[in-house]
Amino acid sequence: MAKSSILGYPRLGKHRQLKRAVEAYWAGKLDDAALQQAGREVRQAAWAVQQTAGIDLIPCNDFSFYDHVLDALCLVGLIPPRFGPAGQTVSLSTYFAMARGAPGVPALELTKWFDTNYHYLVPEFDAPVGGIGSSKPFDEFAEATAQLGRPAKPVLLGPLSLLLLGKRHTRPLAEHLRELLPIYAEVLARLGRFGAEWVQIDEPVLVQDRTEEELDLLTTAYRELTRVANRPRIMLQTYFDSLDERSWPRVMSLPVDGVGLDFLRSPANRELLNRHGFPMNKVLGAGVVNGRNVWRTNLVEGLELLEEIAEHVAVDQIWVQPSCSLLHLPHDVRLETHLPAEIKALLAFAEQRLQEVVTLTRGINHGRSAIITELEQDAETFRIALDATPIHHRPTQERLAALSEDDFRRSSPYEVRAQLQRQRLALPLFPTTTIGSFPQTPEVRSVRARWRAGKLSDDEYWSFIRQQIAALIRRQEEIGLDVLVHGEFERSDMVEYFAEQLEGFVVTEHGWVQSYGSRAARPPIIFGDVYRTKPMTVEVSRYAQSLTDRPVKGMLTGPVTMLNWSFVREDVPRREVAYQLALALRDEVRDLEAAGITVIQIDEPALREGLPLRRQGWTEYLDWAVNAFRLASSGVADETQIHSHMCYSEFNDIIEAIDALDADVISIENSRSQGELLRAFLDHRYLRQIGPGVYDVHSARIPSLEEIESLLLKAVEILSPDQLWVNPDCGLKTRRPEEAWPSLVNMVEAARRLRERFLARVS
């Protein structure tokens, strides 16, 4: 009989209980024991939901207080020396210092987990591993098994993925792997002694382009790990894309007991299975339910896919499962009370995915007749909901059809625009600015919540917002910032705010998805053609600009980021949706310019995130992604300065695309990497203006003046002083005022010092 399996489950809790507990711990309001208890309650609730749904193989160790890659580092004792000695049990204080930094101690670098909006902490391999430094996998296995009454399935990040996701490899990869493997072997041995029957070892790096050397390391690793006596059986799990012709035979020849494949993200795994078959001695983890999007599974299509798989794999050797961890979905669509009924009927969040997996497992085990009621209800739901949903908008379709090459380019080249903008803006050398958002204090969040609940009138709410903007403008002027922002106090989220005002979107009340640590966002849902019916940011921008003679940036979220940070409709190409978003933003950009806004920032932090995992798809994606940005930004006069912001990306992968955006100024994450990422702009000879982030806004620490100045001096070694802007890594929304303002004061002073130094050289 086929079994049902889950690869991982959302971690923050159905009502974000873990977020509140972790943040209370950071604030000193909870001790270690109380935080551990909060974690247990979240884990146990997740296991109970899965057991009630009828899942056969329930994961454990998929929970994390911050990040599963950080958990893996603690498990193998890969602790950078600045956080204390390796080889000891890692305390919660050390764990969170690695994630968030500490006074005088920078955090680990943060970057995107493959092509998702989840962020992981980057392993640093310039120190030896110290041995098992965490009992977490063993404790949570015992806890889950006791609750379930049967062995749970521990989840581990595999040694090859841990190695290749890291940085600062000071020795050959094979040497680093040799240090890791004995620790992994001991972990498997302990889990075996504790009664684990299966362990899921995630190796998502296998769906990327891998060298022969790296595939050799894969073989070495699993030959050694499968020799461990009395170990659990190993399910080698991949997700987010497919294997290829080179990696398929390597993976299938490994002496592991099962291989998990994503059959939804691309057709390649399906084609490889049909072409090469599957080893008779292995279990196939068949990812046939979408773990990345919220549209409900078409059960007929899902069952047909399973039936096709069963032509190559015995049914009792199949695990029916999602395409990846359900970490990337909200908890439960039943919590949503304000969604249009016809759209809600088409959605499936994590809890609904459990039922889909169980239903399809029953269907492949007992035939279509066993789930005929579900199949009929599913078909009727799709028919009724799709008939009632307004998907198409003819004027938007006509605008897309009428686009010409001129719509995708500015009227003059950058060199001409830059001269006109210098004359108009009259900014000093090393101009200072921020990325956009300022701290959203409890008062701001409370007022917005009361307004949304109807407890404040529109006049009262917007009066409060104007007061916040006015106070912020005065404070920015006082500390000496050159280009100001209005603070985004009216925005709960940089994508959700626009989704609430654009047609073709719906937003959720409880659709939270973890981004990193305690941070979560509610990705909006794109169900139809996207278009703008009214200005979205013009009034607050005009008001902010009226309060000062200094330029105030208009702040927009770019079309590619809005696409990649939403749950997107699946009936049209993503390129078309991106262009629809770009047209809506183009209208907003023009209205901002007409309102007297001279600097407009169109943020694209998710540009790199959408890059296909295999290089063969890069050119097509980057072509339309760059064009979407240019379509949004190219309808303004030469004197209007267009900015963009990007963060936590491997910029060397997309440096030519960044250049092709033709933005006048870009700001980038730079501080956690200690300036390493700027090298991409040196190698490419980037000629436009750039603001490399000079301090990490995701850390609670206040950077010193000397630290900021040091990063700026590193930047000057790579780029010309007249190219450089001075700004934080990202928006300040998550910081407290007592952290944000001293940091900005130090930043402005560092810029002043460099300005004096370089002006003195010129004179």
Cα–Cα distance, 186 to 53 (Å, whole number): 33
CB–CB of 343/389 below 8 Å?
yes
Phi, psi of 526 (to 5 degrees): -95, 115
What is the residue whose two structure tokens read 């979205």? 536
CB–CB of 667/725 below 8 Å?
yes
- Beta-strand ranges (E) seen in 298-379 are 318-322
> Coil, strand or helix: which one is 85?
coil
SS (H, E, C) 131-174: CCCCCHHHHHHHHHHHHHCCCCEEEEECHHHHHHCCECCCCCHH
Cα–Cα distance, 139 to 527 (Å, whole number): 43
Cα–Cα distance, 157 to 203 (Å, whole number): 7
- 277 φ/ψ sector (left φ>0, alpha ψ -120 to 50, else beta): left
Burial class (CB in 10 A: 0-12, 13-18, 19+), 1: exposed
CB–CB of 681/717 below 8 Å?
no
Question: 15 catalytic, yes or no?
Answer: no
Cα–Cα distance, 452 to 216 (Å, whole number): 57
Question: Which residue in the list 328, 486, 643, 698 is annotated as catalytic?
Answer: 698
Cα–Cα distance, 207 to 5 (Å, whole number): 21
Burial class (CB in 10 A: 0-12, 13-18, 19+), 44: middle
CB–CB of 430/712 below 8 Å?
yes
Q: Which secondary structure element, helix H or strand E, spans residue 287, and what is its range?
A: strand 283-289
Amino acid identity for residue 354 in this structure: L
> In this structure, are strands 525-532 and 553-557 parallel, antiparallel, or unpaired?
unpaired
**Helix boundaries (H) for 263-349:** 268-276, 299-309, 341-344
**Helix boundaries (H) for 514-568:** 538-546, 559-564
Burial class (CB in 10 A: 0-12, 13-18, 19+), 104: exposed
Q: Write the CA distances from 253 to 204, 223, 280, integer angstroms.
A: 18, 10, 11
Catalytic positions: 698
